[in-house]
Structures are given as structure tokens and as C-alpha cells.
Structure 1
Amino acid sequence: MTLNETYEKEVRIPVSIVNVPDNVVLISPSTDTMKVVVRDKGLVLLGYEYRDILRPLRINFKSYVRGTESASITSAELQRFIYQQLSASTKIVSIKPDKSEFFFNYGLCKRVPVRWRGHVVPEQLYFISHVDYQPDSVDVYAAEEKLDSIDVVYTETLNYDNFRDTLSITCGLQKIRGAKCVPDRIKMAFYTDVLTEANMSVPVTGVNFPDGKVLRTFPSKVTVHFVTGISRLKKLRPSDFTVVADYEEIMRHPSDKCAVHLKGIPHDVSRAKIDVGSVDYLIEEE
């Protein structure tokens, strides 16, 4: 850089909100950074870079609050504050962002659950059996209308794959304009299990049968085929599944056989199906 030539240079100036009352919750960060492109001689620009000339802008909270739960400082106002620190020969070319905006409220919040978002896929033959959140809910501060629209907070987009052991991470939460999450970072653990194919004999249960009528099926049980994790399989019981024959369906479609349907499937079980679609039956009087 030649000292007597004119150049443009980007400088960064922190912007802080000060004199915030104790009963106010700042939803936006209390400190932001403006990217300011200035034009001047090389000698002046070097002074901005290596001397402590540019101080943080301190925005007085009470000067910009007009009764609403947001406030903004225009580009013209920001330029006026910045020019007070610049050499008389320096010109501002651009400011990003072109205005400083902040949100606040007086403690209104609600607690909402956290859910993960993104791509988290373990190695082949493994699956995610359980996700643990610490904490599993966060407090969201925002204006009442904004709070009404928020029922869940998602993590930042995750991207992990090809793991087989428990994946433990710390991640941030997705930014919501006009809202603040406390805390804004959480710990998560993705627990894995090995996939296995299995089957189980499950009794056929009659549903919607009138009092005094009893269903007898032949066979009395059908085989349910499914995929689950090895550790989950050890805890499964036939009673965790529900296979039914519906009296009303039998009356609508009289036949020697009645249709059976798999209605109840426990969590962490996939690709569940029964080996037959119908069975022989009798309807007896009690």
C-alpha cells in the first residue's frame, strides 16, 4: 500500500446496545458488528488498522425505544456516529448491514421442545435407536404474536454419517428472527443399534364384536415379520403388537375367511407385516 495513494478498505466496528433496563430482555445480541468500507489515503487507512482509533458504537437503548418491542438505527444515523471517529478526509463508501436492528421484550417467554434437523446417518446395518437432548426444551423470548407461531425449536443443520458408536455433540439452535432461545446451545447424543430381521407369533383379536359374540380364528395366532435393533428385540413381547379382525368388516363381506390387519406396532420397529391376509374363523355365542 502506497501511503499517498487513495484506497478503499473494509473496517469492522462493534455496535453495542447500552443502558438496557433490568426488566428488559434483549432478544437480539447485545453486540453486533458493522462492516464499513471507507476511502482515503493509504497513510490514514493504516492508522485505522494499526492504531486504536475506531471505538465501538454505543447505542443508548432508551434513545430508540418508541413503545414497540423492536427498534432500528438507520444507515444515516450510523454514518453520523461513525463519521465522528473518522478523519475529515475519509469517506464512507458502504455499510453492511445498512441498518442496525434489535428486538426486546419484558420477559415474555414460553418453553418449547428441541428437535434435530439435518443429515445424521450411521453406518450400513445400523440405525438411530434413540436421541437424547440436554436440555430437551428451551425458553423462547419473543413478542406474544411471535411466540404463538413457535411450537418447536430446531437445531442448526447437522451433517454426520458413517458412525456406529454413540455420537455425542454440542450444537447451536437455529436462529429465529425476533426471538431468543435460552440456552442457545444444547448437547445431544445419538444412540445406535444393529438392525436385525425377526418375527413373532401374535394372537388375532376381534374388534367391534357385539356383546355375547366371540371370535375364534384358525390359526389363533399369525406371524408378524419386522426389522428392529438387537437390543430392542430383547424387550419386545407379542402383546406389543396388535392384529385384529373387525366384526363390521366381516358382516360387510361374508366369506369363509376373515381379513386380519396389523394395527399396533411398537416404536423402533419398521417394515412390519403379517404372513397372511386372512384366516378361517367362527363366530360363537357366549
Structure 2
Amino acid sequence: MHSPVKIGKWKIPANIRGGKASQFVFFFFVSCLLWFLIKLPNRYTSTVSLKPSYSGVPKNKLLVNPPRTIKADINAKGMRLLGMKYFGREVHIDLSGLRKKEDRFYLLAGDLKKQLTNILPEDVEIRQFASDTLFFSLGENIIRKVKIVPRTDITFARDYRIYDSLTVSPPEINVFGPDVEVNKLDTLYTSRVTLKDVNEDIRMNIAVEIPQQYKNLEFKNKKVVIKARVERFSEKKFTVPVFVINVPEEKSVKTFPSEVEVICEGALKDISRLRPSDFRVTCNFEAITDSVKYLPLQVSKMPETIKKVELSRHGVEILVKNSEGDAR
């Protein structure tokens, strides 16, 4: 008994390895080859991808991301069409005759056909293009400053936080390239920075992320420094008097209570030097009406180093006396 012959994962039984079956396969292959060779001289129409190169760009202009392929329906003999379809065909496109409408530059299908007819062999006929119009972006080289925005995820150790603000140096970078691309850029972002339990100043070199569509532009800096001053924060309370402003000369006033507590928050190094006289709490006499004797309070003076301030109460009652001594 004959053992089967293995081809890959398939097994051909021995009883069909020879004889009529193998002869049929051979003659079938030869027939297909002959048919293919006979048909090659015939003309056919098929869609092919042309590979353009460009010249004749208008003076002082730059060609930005032009079309890399042009699809067209071509009628040609089988052998030539086969080569163009599967191996491509390089063609040269002259842009000196570009049409313009407002800020858009383009060539019509008729413009392309006229140029390609002079380039392609005589037996190649262009039937139509996939698009009636081929658009082009032209620009001028410019330099523009683009803002850099840090992307951070920062948590701080207990009672620690940024003293003033997190900054980027430089805050803007110069971008050079065609205006049609550069003008689309308003903001660039850094790579994300993740820091945990921070209790000291921050200073790091970090990369600027360049979106893929802008890889061809030139960037003066692709790295920036992010930095921030970090301090320990605390609270402190002061008892300060309440002052009434805009009191007429013929009036005298008294508030109840006459003092309030100011609760301030700031860096430990700053609040340790504070005094009650650094704060001023006021209410406005002009806010009094016949029905309102309760005046809201506001902090009208405090050190710039204080990040947050609260009052122990929002307002005070007020007693008004005329110069003759009558209470109101």
C-alpha cells in the first residue's frame, strides 16, 4: 500500500499522484498561460495609482503636503496596464499653471489630463480621474511663538503646596515653517508629569509633545523646564477691630461686636511674621437703610503673602448717634 504524499498540511492520496490527474493539472496550467499571453495585446480599462513629482511652485511659496498619488482610469494594452497597475507609474506635474480661488490652489481634471497625455506613452489613454479637482496647499515660511502648557498630576505631602504658581520656562517657543501649518498651532502641551507626596521645590526638564501632523515644522525648543516653589502652609488667627467707613461728620457709630477674628492661611515662613495691624476689617456706613442695621464685613487690607482669609462672622450690628447724642 502506498503512503500518501504530504504538501503542507494537505495529503494527496497516492492513487492520484500520477497518471491522468497530474496530466490534467499540467495542461490546465499551460492553457491558462497561453490564454493570458494571447489576451495581453488586447486593450483594457482599469484604475491605476500614478505617483506624481512636482515642479513649478510659484515664487516665494512652499508646497505643503501635496497629494502622493493620483488615481485615474487608464485604457491600455494588457501588458502595459498590468505594469502600471501593480508597479505604479511616476509622472511629473508642473504647478506653474495652478488656478486660484480665494486662498485655494487647484488643478482641474482637464489640466491634469493635458499634462499627463504628453507624458504617458501614446498607447495609454486617460479616461477619467477619481477626483475632478486636485487641491494644493501653498504657504510661506514664518516664525511664530506658541504657548506651552504643562500637563501635571501633582499631590503634596500634608500641609505642603505650591507657594505661588507652577511656571514653564520658556513659556513660549518659536515654531518655524509654512504659514498654513504654523498658524494652526495655538498651544503645545508637555508630556504628563506625575509627582506624589511632594514636600520640596519642583524643577524638571520635560519634553514638549509634538503632534504627528506637525512633525515637519521646526521647533526651537523641544524641551522646557517646569518649576514651582513649594512651602509648608499653616493657619493663624488674629483679633482685629472693626472700622466703619464713610461716616458723616455729624454722626458717631458703634459696632457690635467691635472686634472680629481673622483666620488666615499662608506659608509658615510668612504667617509667623504677621501682626494684627497687618489686617483691616471694615463695613460701609452707606449700606445702612431704615430696615437694615446689620452691615456686611470685608477685609480691606491684608498682606500679599496671604493665600486665603476668612472672618469669624459675616457682619456686625451698628448703633448710630447724631452729634446731639440721639441714638438711631
Q: TM-score, normalised by structure 2?
A: 0.47
Q: Whole-Å Cα distance in 2 between the matches of residues 182 and 215 of structure 1? A: 69
Q: Whole-Å Cα distance in 2 between the matches of residues 234 and 124 of structure 1? A: 21
Greater helix content: 2
Match of 1:94 in 2: 130
- 1:222 is displaced (CA, Å) by 0.5
Match of 2:84 in 1: 44
Residues 1:154 and 2:186 aligned together: yes
- 1:73 is displaced (CA, Å) by 1.5
- 1:100 is displaced (CA, Å) by 1.6
Contact 1:215 1:282 in 2 (8 A): yes
Match of 1:33 in 2: 66
Equivalent in 234, 254, 277 of residue 313 of structure 2: 277
Contact 2:244 2:284 in 1 (8 A): yes
Equivalent in 162, 178, 190 of residue 226 of structure 2: 190
Runs of 5+ unmatched residues, structure 2? 1-35, 75-80, 197-201, 321-328
Mark the CA change 1:85 to 1:113 in structure 2 (over 3 Å): closer, same or farther. same
Mark the CA change 1:205 to 1:131 in structure 2 (over 3 Å): closer, same or farther. farther
- 1:15 is displaced (CA, Å) by 4.6
Mark the CA change 1:168 to 1:222 in structure 2 (over 3 Å): closer, same or farther. same
Aligned residue runs from structure 1 range 253-264, under 5 A: 253-255=292-294, 258-261=296-299
Match of 2:147 in 1: 114
Q: Residue 45 of structure 1 aligns to a residue in which SS? A: helix
Contact 1:199 1:224 in 2 (8 A): yes
Could you give the per-residue CA deviations for residues 155-210 of structure 1, whole angstroms, max 9, x where no partner exists?
246662534663522345899xxxxx996976544335668653245767868546
Mark the CA change 1:254 to 1:282 in structure 2 (over 3 Å): closer, same or farther. closer
AA aligned to 2:59 is: V
Q: Whole-Å Cα distance in 2 between the matches of residues 169 and 153 of structure 1? A: 17
Q: Whole-Å Cα distance in 2 between the matches of residues 138 and 95 of structure 1? A: 38
Identity of aligned residues (%): 11
Contact 1:204 1:222 in 2 (8 A): no
- 1:223 is displaced (CA, Å) by 1.0
Could you give the per-residue CA deviations for residues 99-147 of structure 1, whole angstroms, max 9, x where no partner exists?
1243569x9x9x777353xx8231433988323253637699989xxxx
Q: Whole-Å Cα distance in 2 between the matches of residues 234 and 115 of structure 1? A: 32
Contact 2:55 2:95 in 1 (8 A): yes
Q: What is the CA RMSD across the aligned residues, in angstroms?
A: 5.9
Match of 1:199 in 2: 235
Residues 1:18 and 2:57 aligned together: yes
Q: Whole-Å Cα distance in 1 between the matches of residues 245 and 175 of structure 2? A: 45
AA aligned to 2:91 is: L
AA aligned to 1:120 is: R
Equivalent in 274, 277, 282 of residue 245 of structure 1: 282
Mark the CA change 1:208 to 1:233 in structure 2 (over 3 Å): closer, same or farther. same
Could you give the per-residue CA deviations for residues 199-240 of structure 1, whole angstroms, max 9, x where no partner exists?
2457678685469899998546611247xxxxx76568869x
Could you give the per-residue CA deviations for residues 7-47 of structure 1, whole angstroms, max 9, x where no partner exists?
655555455663515xxxx4xx5342204234563312344
Mark the CA change 1:112 to 1:43 in structure 2 (over 3 Å): closer, same or farther. closer
Larger radius of gyration: 2
